[in-house]
Amino acid sequence: MSRAAAPVDEAPQSTAFGRRRWTGYLLLLPGALWLTIFFIVPMGTLVSTSLYDPNGTLETGYQVTWAFSNYVDALQTYWPEFWRSLIYAGLATLFALLIGYPMAYAIAFKAGRWKNLLLILVIAPFFTSFLIRTLSWKLILADQGAVVDFLKAVHVLGPDGRLLATSAAVVLGLTYNFLPFMVLPLYASLEKIDHRMIEAASDLYASPLQGFRRVTWPLSMPGVVAGTLLTFIPAAGDYINVELLGTPQQTMIGNRIQGLFGAGDYPFAAALSVTLMVMILAMVIVYIRRTGTEELL
């Protein structure tokens, strides 16, 4: 320690070098500890749980029996929920993109001095709890609510048609809840585009539509990829929206996992969790490769 306190120019070079190298590791330590305790250890626990003997119970205890059959059984039993999760999340992502892109575009390029206010409005829903907002949708979409009345009046819905407790309500809830996660990265990406790029496209005979397709859209691709991932991933694992806006017919994989954990069937729940994680990871990698936005990884 006394050596380390000596002025740098007197200390042998190797010591100075060594100390500098240790500083880096020391700075990494809190983060590394955090990740170990809260990510690596739980992940190991989750994977080992998924390999428990499926006949174990809270009373009899659980054993790691390398029961890979848990995965096969879980998938065989619950593939419709997997499938539904991916479709709902995919639809929600698509709608969020269709709504979010024009929003982000308008905020980035057309809002002028309203820009900051509009950004705050995008984030404003977060000031209230996720649960409360989803519960509010339950009221809005209720059978006796104004929205259903109106849709019945204009004959979009039949006389006994309803919105609540349908797939549409679940997808709507997902879209609504994850929209800010789409808009913000899109905005960040669009806002960075040098306006002269768009002028240059126009100068080089690109009509506004061509300019958008050839210049604005490709340059906003990092935002599109980030936004769709930030929407799709949490939406695929969500269970609150089905819980509040759907019925057992709309059950997503998140609901199953939650239910199984609640019922003490840890091996199945863990196997489903790991499967969902691996599926999403594989899809993300393929997606990022195909859109050529590897630098996001």
Partner 1 sequence: MSTGAKTTAHGASDHATRSGDDLRLASVTKRFGTFTAVDHLELTVPAGSFFALLGPSGCGKTTTLRMVAGLEKPTEGEVYLGERQITALRPFKRPVNTVFQNYALFPHLSIEENVAFGPKRQHRKQVDDEVDRMLELVELTGYGKRRPAQLSGGQQQRVALARALINHPQVLLLDEPLGALDLKLRRQMQIELKRIQLDVGITFVHVTHDQEEAMTMADTVAVMNAGVVEQMGDPVELYENPATTFVANFLGQSNLIAGSMVDTANDMRTVDVRGTKLRVPTGRARVDMGDVWVGVRPEKVFVESTGADGGSSSNVLPGGVVSDVSFTGVSTQYLVRMPWGQELTVFEQNTGARETFRVDDVVDLRWRAEHTFCLDAAQDARAGVEDDLSELP
The residue ranges that bind partner 1 (CB under 8 A) are 194, 196-197, 199-207, 210-211, 214-215, 218-219, 221
Nearer to partner 1, 198 or 257 (CB): 198
Q: Least distance in Å: CB of 216 to partner 1?
A: 11
Q: Least distance in Å: CB of 214 to partner 1?
A: 7
Q: Which of 111, 62, 61, 104 is nearest to 216 (CA)?
A: 104
Q: Please, which residues bridge with residue 64 across strands? A: 52
Nearer to partner 1, 118 or 219 (CB): 219
Q: Least distance in Å: CB of 287 to partner 1?
A: 18
- What letter does residue 64 receive in the DSSP assignment? B
Instruction: Round to whole Å and give the CA distance between 241 and 236.
Output: 11
Question: CA gyration radius for the chain?
Answer: 25
Q: Least distance in Å: CB of 207 to partner 1?
A: 6
3-state secondary structure of 142: coil
Nearer to partner 1, 216 or 228 (CB): 216
Q: Which of 229, 206, 195, 245 is nearest to 297 (CA)?
A: 229
List, in order, residues 6 or more apart from 58 with CB less than 8 Å away.
Answer: 264
Nearer to partner 1, 107 or 215 (CB): 215
Nearer to partner 1, 55 or 210 (CB): 210
Residues 133 and 125 sit within 8 Å (Cβ to Cβ): yes
Q: Least distance in Å: CB of 218 to partner 1?
A: 5
Q: Least distance in Å: CB of 209 to partner 1?
A: 11
Residues 133 and 127 sit within 8 Å (Cβ to Cβ): no
Nearer to partner 1, 215 or 229 (CB): 215
Amino acid at 151: L
